A and B are shown apart, each in its own frame.
Chain A
Amino acid sequence: MDTTTGPSGPAVSVRGLVKRYGSGEKQVEAVRGIDLEVARGETFGFLGPNGAGKSTTINILCTLVEPTAGDAEVVGLDVVRDRAAVRRRIGLVFQDPTLDGPMSGEQNLRFHQELYGVDRRRAPGRREEVLRMVGLWERRADEVRTYSGGMRRRLEIARGLLHSPQVLFLDEPTIGLDPQTRGSIWDYVAELHHTEEITVFVTTHYMDEAEHCDRIAIMNEGRIVALDTPDALKAQVGADRVTITTDDDEAALRALRTEFGLEGAVREGVVSIAVPDGAGFVPRLFDRLGVGIRSVTVTRPSLDDVFLAHTGTTIRDAETGPSMHPMAMRMRGR
């Protein structure tokens, strides 16, 4: 065990993890056997629609839920057998707020330090450090109920760092926040890499946010369907997307077929074509299409495309479907 708890072992290690809720006919298998390893210092993204099993997995890693089968270790400690030891080494930021409104920002932090038994001589200095980091030092004496949603989330992140955890778990840290605030939350997470030697394990269902991670795992229906760096995942999807508006869409489609051997698709008056090298394709397109082109855009593959390629559905469709009809989702999935 000494070798794995040292700084060289993985921050998170999961093998054959299964979690079932309920029993008999009504049994729901939230996590269906996942394996993964997160290295120290990594920012690891856990991506998927609501109901994919992300929160269940993170709750198991945080010792809040016991797995039905399989093993999970955090900094080399078993999440079931060494529960208290794991809790001391991790920071948690939940999906739902867990702050006390009538207490000030700093009182909330002090409360946390006392609960975690942080050395009293170092506690005030550490509070100042994390409050300055998230830009709340000036507001520290104000009651938390006067804070905005973004400020509360920043305070929760600051609190999660107070006891210098080795792994920080963030469960949907940006949910319900406006795009600008979401961006600033990610700036703070990125800054963690420079100021703290910390592993960040973050779940999100916003595809664009996964770009901030070193590696991401895409989860769907309780399984990890893809796991790699964002760039590698996008490269797997391969194609760039070129979209054009033309004088005659039907003629354009025919020309694409005859001149390039490509199948385009028309949607809402826009022709889109998937090609390996979009930027290089555009000049040839203008040369040989023979139909008037009024505008052109080239898009690199996004994680949405990755999700689509691995699950056969967009994350938006997966969101509206499975959470309401788990049975339908399961049938469609097979």
Chain B
Amino acid sequence: MTTTLTPESLHIPESSLATEARAAVVVWQREMIRFVKDRSRILSSLAQPLLFLFVLGSGLGSLLNSSAGGSVQFTTFLFPGVMAISVLFTAAFAGISIVWDREFGFLREMLVAPVSTASILVGKALGGASVATLQCLVLLALAGLVGVPYDPLMLLGMIGLIFLMAFMITALGLVLAARVRQVQTAMPLVQLVITPLMFLSGALFPLSGLPTWLTVLTHVNPMTYAVEPLRSLVFDHLDVDAATRARFDPGIVWGTWVVPVGVQILMTIGFCVLLLALAVWRFRRTE
């Protein structure tokens, strides 16, 4: 057996940033492989946001437009919100899918490797974020149908913001998945957490003139700070007067302070880091 490699010739390197990065990348690649193979999932998960946009959006829109008028279609307002809804469900599912990995044993293969849990979970979160963003590209292509211009810079900016939002939600999914042993409990748990995040984020209606208790809830929802930059970016590229914009895109106001979009984006990045760190901590404790 002259072809046999001796252990020394294949010596496994000691831990370094490079080996950790390779681990994260291969975990990400696996998510991509699964995404490409699972075409039925891609199609079925597009159905929900499309229903929201064209059925709910058109239905509510006719009600609003007849009474309030204005130069903005309700579906135009809803467009970034529907992106957020699509991200919420796709990314949360991608995060919680680690429960399936646990069920089928593959999580063990990942966690016994000589790399840190953080690298594995970063790979997983990047994978979920990529999958959710790719799904949104299909929705983005429909921008023209709801009166959103195909501005290249705006579209690039939206993709960036969607990716950030998706990373945050995948990390949240991972936090939820850390203690879940059974696949059957995973889906109801996602629904339980995701649905309020959706309704309280400003994705479906503007966050102005709400009762105080509702305003407080929207302000503690991390999703709020990921949705508003997206909507703000879209409205920057619409031809609307100040009054209409104030009605449909009131921004986020803490007391009297209007939170700048830049601060919101920084907050979203902060949530990403925080949730991922929490997920790593919980996984280290349970596995």
Contact = CB atoms under 8 A, between A and B. Distances in A.
A129 B5 contact: yes
B257 interface: no
Interface string A34-63: 000000000000000000000000000010
B254 interface: no
B14 A194 contact: no
Interface residues of A, number: 40
Interface string A70-106: 0000000000000011011100101011111111000
A88 B11 CA distance: 9
A118 B26 CA distance: 13
Contacts of A92: 112
A14 B148 CA distance: 69
Contact of B12 (A88, A98, A100): A88
A121 to B, nearest CB: 11
A114 interface: yes
Question: How would you classify the secondary structure of chain A's contact residues: helix, strand, loop or mixed?
Answer: loop
A166 B10 contact: no
Contact of B106 (A98, A126, A129, A195): A98
A254 interface: no
A87 B111 CA distance: 11
A87 B114 CA distance: 6
A102 B37 contact: yes
Contact of A94 (B5, B15, B105, B115): B105
Contacts of A115: 22-23, 26, 109-110, 113, 115
Contacts of B22: 114-115, 117
B12 A103 contact: no
B104 A196 contact: no
B112 A118 contact: no
B4 A195 contact: yes
Interface string B95-118: 000000100111011101111000
Interface of B: 1, 3-7, 9-15, 18-19, 22-23, 25-26, 30, 33-34, 37-38, 101, 104-106, 108-110, 112-115
